[in-house]
Amino acid sequence: MSDAWTTVLVLTVATVLIRASGPVILGGRNLPSPARRVVVLLAPALLAALVVTETLSDANGLVLDERAAGVAAAGLVLLWRDSLLLAMAVAVGVTAVARALL
């Protein structure tokens, strides 16, 4: 087995163990209120971190290019209207125009 497949296998097992640990440890008990509030915020925070990381970085570090303009435009649309489809369309359009101009 190659090193790559060994890594994939180890990461798969680790992911399954991590995901299964929550239900096993809690065993049907309810979380305390402060913990519930934190858990609700974890998914949006992780998604935002992934978007920022993928948009503003590459192998050399921080990069501000056309993608940043698209994400900023999508953020403004989401502040103005709660339409994810419109925000995605605006982000694509702004990114395409910025790439055409630069």
Please list the residues that pair with 58 across neighbouring strands. Answer: 61
For residue 46, give both structure tokens: 């992780």
pLDDT in tens, 67-92: 999 999 999 999 999 899 999 999 99
Q: Is 55:68 a contact under the CB 8 Å cutoff?
A: yes
**77 vs 81: CA distance, rounded Å:** 6
Q: What is the pTM of this model?
A: 0.59
Residues 6+ apart with CB under 8 A from 91: 70, 71, 73, 74, 77
Position 50 scores a pLDDT of 92
pLDDT in tens, 12-60: 999 999 999 888 887 878 888 998 899 889 999 999 899 888 888 888 8
